């Protein structure tokens, strides 16, 4: 037995040694072969004859010119870089008279502060996303709290070889020093650029005209007709985003006639929308069509981050040309016509139905002593035509009236209580009308509650009272004391503290009138409320309405 076990152990050991020996030999042979192959490759490479190989050459540049290239070369020299410095308030020069445009400032609505103006019912949440192009890198656009100079950057374009330049008003707003840098200016000696003076500004359209001194004719852009631009057309933007001068981007016209700021600030601002990349510093630069013509001036962007998000807005060239021609005139200002009314855009369908019109402008207020008042127009009239030309909406009316010079006469067609009427109106000066509106005073609100009506609380969700002692002269109606959350009144936008002066065109003088009218309302009726803010009675009437549930 022991002998058998010994033989088995011996055979296992012998097999193991045999296998190990075989593997070792294979590894050794493989290494020798590999070394031999590697050595052979090195030997063969070192002996390869490359005398027949042709060296590579850098080819001569090819001119792959496209319309984009051509336009950039032609227009680029006329696009300038604008830099400004605003001194601390203690060092600022007096007499400039510049104020921030309300279009760019997040301010509460200014009811009744414009001529032929759209009444503003409240701040627009989307306005928070429309960022002003202060220019420069982030952080350079705000006033330094430590009293340091504030620097900003923008763009502009030369329209007259004698040195006249168009840019945005907000680029040079409140600036104490303005420099313009041409594309041909050398780096040394022109680090800040050439000093510029302000010829004139128009805050309603955010347009400014500058002038620099020159001893030779400067290159200029070619102005185009923005009415010819179509949605889908290729466009090019040139400017100085983030201090990167002569930057060219391309896109298309995304939309036309965009009004991005409702009410007073936006009534003269109807933009071309584009997806050409524009960023802080592009403001004031040109937007060009494929003929190399300026069809707009880059003015604003829609963004949540402060940089390009695919939506930009340019002031149309036709507006720019008209404003420029006024600003280079003897008075260096834009004079617009006015008839002295305010109106409310986007009326609820129920209000339009009650007042009986589809197209036209419902007058909210008539400024005492001005054109419309002298011609006999009243709040509640519906303007339908000007010199026989139909009026679609408030924007249409503003465009027609503002283009007329003060002193000219027009024929207004309007509807009053369902009857078509006409009046001859002498157009006035918008600036004087604005001054008159701004001087208006509101009354005190010391409510003298008289209870209201249970019927009104049930049907409408409000309680009202007679007007208190000391209410503004000429104001009639009832004062809203409370509004029930979720009620009909709440849903259509009625609020505590406003005065209801009429319901469905029926005047209200006291609570009794109010109760009588409300008692006749039933489910399914369209109800239109004419309301007035007693704190600003000169702002005129507002209209709220809906279908009674």
Active site residues: 170, 206, 283
Q: Which residue, 300, 288, 296, 278, is CA-closest to 234?
A: 288
Reference 294, options 308, 284, 302, 280; nearest CA is 284
Q: How far apart are CA 215 and CA 522, in angstroms?
A: 78
- Cα gap 483→456, rounded to integer Å: 11
d(CA 310, CA 304): 11
Residue whose C-alpha is closest to residue 313's, from 281, 287, 348: 287
What six digits make up the tokens of 282?
């592009």
CB-based contacts of 496: which residues, under 8 Å, 6+ apart?
Answer: 480, 481, 482, 483
Strand ranges, E, within 133-289: 150-160, 164-168, 177-181, 194-202, 207-212, 222-223, 234-239, 247-258, 271-274, 286-288
Q: Distance between CA 36 and CA 14 in Å, rounded?
A: 33
CA distances from 249 to 16, 63, 275 (A): 77, 20, 10
Q: How far is CA 374 from CA 336, 368, 371, 540, in A?
A: 19, 8, 5, 17
**Eight-class DSSP state of 440:** -
CA within 13 Å, CB half, 84: 28
Paired tokens of 101: 């445009």
Contacts of 447 (CB under 8 A, 6+ apart): 465, 468, 479, 481
Q: What is the spatial distance between Cα 113 and Cα 367, in angstroms, rounded to a whole number?
A: 11
Q: Is 371 in a helix, a strand, or coil?
A: helix
Asked whether the beta carbons of 424 and 411 are under 8 A apart, the reply is yes
Residue 196 near residue 249 (C-beta atoms within 8 A) = no
H or E segment to which residue 424 belongs:
strand 419-426
């Amino acid at each position: 037995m022991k002998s058998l076990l010994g033989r088995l152990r011996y055979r296992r050991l012998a097999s193991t040694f045999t296998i190990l020996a075989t593997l070792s030999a294979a590894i050794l042979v493989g290494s020798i072969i590999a070394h031999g192959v590697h050595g052979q490759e090195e030997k063969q490479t070192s002996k390869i004859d490359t005398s027949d190989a042709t060296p590579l050459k850098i080819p001569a540049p090819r001119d792959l010119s496209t319309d984009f290239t051509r336009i950039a070369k032609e227009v680029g020299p006329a696009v300038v870089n604008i830099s400004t410095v605003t001194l601390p308030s203690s060092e600022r020069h007096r007499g400039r008279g510049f104020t921030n445009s309300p279009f760019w400032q997040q301010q509460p609505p200014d009811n009744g502060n414009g001529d032929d103006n759209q009444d503003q019912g409240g701040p627009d949440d989307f306005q928070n996303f429309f960022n002003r192009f202060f220019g420069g890198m982030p952080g350079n656009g705000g006033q330094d709290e430590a009293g340091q100079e504030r620097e900003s950057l923008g763009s502009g374009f030369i329209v007259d070889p004698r040195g006249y330049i168009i840019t945005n008003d907000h680029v040079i707003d409140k600036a104490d020093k303005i420099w313009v840098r041409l594309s041909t200016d050398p780096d040394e000696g022109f680090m800040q650029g050439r000093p510029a003076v302000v010829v004139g500004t128009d805050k309603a359209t955010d347009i400014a005209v500058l002038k620099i001194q020159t001893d030779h004719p400067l290159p200029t852009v070619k102005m185009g007709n923005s009415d010819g631009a179509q949605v889908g057309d290729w466009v090019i933007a040139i400017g100085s985003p983030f201090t990167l001068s002569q930057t060219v981007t391309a896109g298309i016209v995304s939309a036309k006639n965009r009004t991005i700021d409702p009410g007073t600030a936006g009534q003269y601002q109807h933009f071309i929308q584009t997806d050409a990349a524009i960023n802080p510093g592009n403001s004031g630069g040109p937007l060009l069509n494929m003929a190399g013509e300026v069809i707009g001036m880059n003015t604003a962007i829609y963004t949540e981050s402060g940089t390009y998000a695919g939506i930009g807005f340019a002031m149309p060239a036709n507006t720019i040309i008209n404003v420029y021609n006024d600003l280079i005139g003897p008075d260096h200002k834009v004079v617009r016509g006015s008839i002295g009314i305010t109106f409310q855009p986007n009326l609820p369908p129920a209000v339009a139905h009650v007042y009986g019109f589809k197209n036209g402008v419902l007058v909210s207020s008539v400024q005492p002593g001005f054109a419309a008042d002298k011609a006999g127009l009243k709040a509640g009239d519906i303007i339908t035509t000007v010199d026989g030309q139909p009026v679609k909406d408030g924007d249409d009316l503003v465009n027609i009236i503002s283009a007329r010079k003060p002193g000219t006469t027009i024929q207004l067609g309007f509807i009053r209580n369902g009857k078509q009427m006409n009046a001859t109106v002498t157009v006035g000066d918008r600036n004087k009308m604005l001054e008159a509106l701004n001087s208006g005073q509101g009354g005190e609100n010391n409510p003298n509650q008289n209870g209201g009506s249970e019927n009104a609380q049930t049907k409408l969700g409000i309680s009202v009272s007679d007007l208190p002692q000391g209410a503004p002269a000429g104001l009639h109606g009832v004062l809203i004391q409370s509004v029930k959350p979720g009620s009909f009144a709440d849903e259509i936008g009625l609020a505590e503290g406003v005065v209801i002066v009429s319901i469905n065109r029926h005047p209200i003088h006291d609570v009794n009138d109010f109760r009588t009218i409300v008692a006749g309302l039933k489910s399914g009726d369209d109800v239109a409320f004419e309301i007035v803010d007693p704190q600003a009675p000169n702002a005129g009437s507002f209209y709220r309405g809906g279908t009674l549930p």
